Amino acid sequence: MPPIPPHPAPGEPLPPPHGVLLIGAGGLGCATALALAGVIRTRLTLVDPDRIALSNLHRQILYHRDDLDALKVEQAARRLRHLAPALTVETRCARLDTPEAIGALACRHAVTVDASDNFRTRFAANDAAIRQGFPLIHGAASGFAGQLMTIDPGRSACLRCLFGAPPPVEGPTCQNEGVIGSLVGEVGWLMALETVKLLKKTGQPLWNRLLTIHALTGKRRAVPLRPDPHCPCHPQPGPVTP
């Protein structure tokens, strides 16, 4: 598999950011990657630390029974390259759960997509985006409910505007709470659509809106959001000069 290129030495200029960083190769990540592979002709970097388990297969559509115990990023990359030979797929088998680790990779990409399954990574991605100013697409699904939003640092609401801080105890996951595979697919494809809008600079991304999906009722709602003036993402007024 192509390794991720080394970081430039101190003093060397960074290459222009291009391509998409996709954090998570589970249900959301598989759906997002598969949708992007058919429409982008650039670079897709997949990051995930896990191996494929039997319980994953109903919602993680890039994997088969023959893939059990293989690294997710390796199998996902292999299938994406076969589907879209013009797409450059890079991989990293790692758990990104700090703003520093995420920021170091995100700065090389035009768009970052958070398809992770835990609050620590979600808030780390949010904080990295706020600090470094890169666009971030967030999505989540559990049970029969899904949500997604796009964060434009300094100009739109972020996760901390909505929730303040991650909960002290990790919430329900797909593994222990269950999730409908088709719902994961819908959220993942919508995350891919948000990515395309940002890359092509077209349409109306989900800035200052949280799209909620309730699979049991079939309702989709775009909830208006406002940046919290007390959130670290909100530009603070500078000192008053006498």
* Residue 234: both structure tokens together: 């909100």
Q: Report residue 148: phi and psi, to 5°.
A: -155, 155
Q: How far apart are CA 126 and CA 114, in angstroms?
A: 9
Nearest to 27 by CA among 149, 185, 178: 185
- Domain 20-165+172-224 fold is Rossmann fold (3.40.50)
Among the ranges given (174-178, 204-208, 218-222), the one the predictor scored with the smallest mean pLDDT: 174-178
Confidence band for 2, pLDDT divided at 50, 70 and 90: very low
Confidence band for 168, pLDDT divided at 50, 70 and 90: confident
Whether 6 has a pLDDT exceeding 60, the answer reads no
* Residue 166: both structure tokens together: 């991650």
Q: How far apart are CA 143 and CA 234, in angstroms?
A: 32
Q: How far apart are CA 141 and CA 131, in angstroms?
A: 26
Confidence band for 57, pLDDT divided at 50, 70 and 90: very high
* Residue 192: both structure tokens together: 């891919």
pLDDT digits (tens, 9 = 90+) for 66-125: 999 999 999 999 999 999 999 999 999 999 999 999 999 999 999 999 999 999 999 999
Whether 1 has a pLDDT exceeding 90, the answer reads no
pLDDT, mean over the chain: 89
Q: How far apart are CA 37 and CA 1, in angstroms?
A: 17
pLDDT in the model for residue 225: 95
